[in-house]
A = this chain, B = another copy of it.
Amino acid sequence: MNVEILGVGSELLLGQIANTNAQYISQKLSELGLNVYYHSVVGDNHERLLKALEIAVSRSDIIITTGGLGPTMDDITKETVCDFLGLEISVHGPSLERIEAYFRQRNRPMTQNNVKQAMFPEKAKILPNDVGTAPGAIVEEKGKIFIILPGPPVELKPMFENYVIPYLESKSDVRICSKVLKIYGMGESVVEEKIKDILLHQSNPTIAPLAGNLEVTLRITARCPKNQDPYDLIGPVENQIRERLGDVVYGVDDDQLESVVAALLKEKKKNISTAESCTGGLIANLLTNVPGISENFIEGFVTYSNESKMSRLGVDKGTLEKYGAVSAETALEMARGLIQVTGSDIGLAVTGIAGPGGGSERKPVGLVYIAVATADKIQVQKYVFQGDRIRIKNASAKAALDWLRRILLEIH
């Protein structure tokens, strides 16, 4: 069975809000093994909504509408769906009582237009709204399933979890699960090149590559009968991909580079300090986004001025004069000074030119040096990143975190 999600609301078409309902519902349906083939959005307009329903019915088995269940005149979804199906609507007693109770509990007067929210066709299965006033409904008609849901995510989500999912599960006999592999340091086209044959022969599980935010993800999705475990299908494909790609696969699912680094610091019982120039505190900020990091993160310096590089980290004035603040030499001295000053096991130092100003032909915007010091070794790497200031900061932080990850992996 394939599904279309039909959002109704001018606020979507004006760009006042993103269609996060479609995202949420799609995620849930994909877990249930239902294929979502279409999202569509129309405004609060009777004619255009009717036509959109016509199109939806012509190509989808389940049509889920979101929005347009409010009490006002421009809320027309339910009425238009019933109009489309030729179904009369009348007051649904239990729903009216719930709405009346809603207002009573809040000591607010119920206006006449709220009665409209309790009106449904007789054959509808009513979906109670545990958070707001507008109930939803499921109508099976013309061999199709219409699921009518309210627009505010805070009302839609519990209604979906509590009433729609059990309904859909009862209609399905498959289970779908997916696992996401997270990749840093290899472009989308190279990833695809390396696993081309696996991608070409995919059917179950399927593999979907996605690039964004300087990373690539591969989503492996398997479906199987309800009494089997989809991860039995995912495992072998995951292993095959990992063999091909090697250690650019840094994590799975919700992992971030910073959370993987934090977990490795914990596992290897190491602590760390940071000295940042061009990233301006971004790396410290990312690391401290991870709960529990305080055990392993000692302190950070944002040594923006030359003065602070000297006074906090002991960078030599001669080095700054001879090689400049953005140089391998300065990065090395920053990292060395950092572990001396803080006594940390690992010191990470970054210096570079985030732009838009400050670049030259010899040292362009985007030039970044990253140095890592441990008790027995100090290393430095040179990078040239592209993009605006924010992107160069982000690229520098990701490169630094990934390098830390690789260094930590080598510690036994």
Give the B-binding residues of A (Cβ under 8 A): 7, 10-20, 22-30, 36-43, 45, 48, 51-52, 55, 59, 70-74, 105-106, 108, 111, 113-114, 131, 152, 154, 187-190, 192-193, 199, 208-213, 217, 219, 221, 274, 276, 279-285, 287-289, 291-292, 294, 297-305, 307-308, 312, 342, 354-358, 384, 386-387, 389-391, 393
Contact = CB atoms under 8 A, between A and B. Distances in A.
B105 A208 contact: no
Contacts of A36: 13-15
Contacts of A51: 59
B288 A285 contact: no
A208 B16 CA distance: 9
Contact of A39 (B13, B45, B212, B384): B13
Contacts of A40: 38-41
A71 B380 CA distance: 33
Oligomeric state, in number of copies?
2
Contacts of A28: 15
A145 to B, nearest CB: 18
A138 to B, nearest CB: 21
A59 B71 CA distance: 29
A301 B304 contact: no
Contacts of A70: 188-189, 211
A181 B199 CA distance: 49
A7 B19 CA distance: 12
Contacts of A354: 288
A108 B390 CA distance: 22
Given A16-B210, A71-B192, A300-B302, 8 more contacts: A7-B39, A38-B42, A40-B41, A154-B212, A279-B285, A281-B283, A284-B302, A285-B285
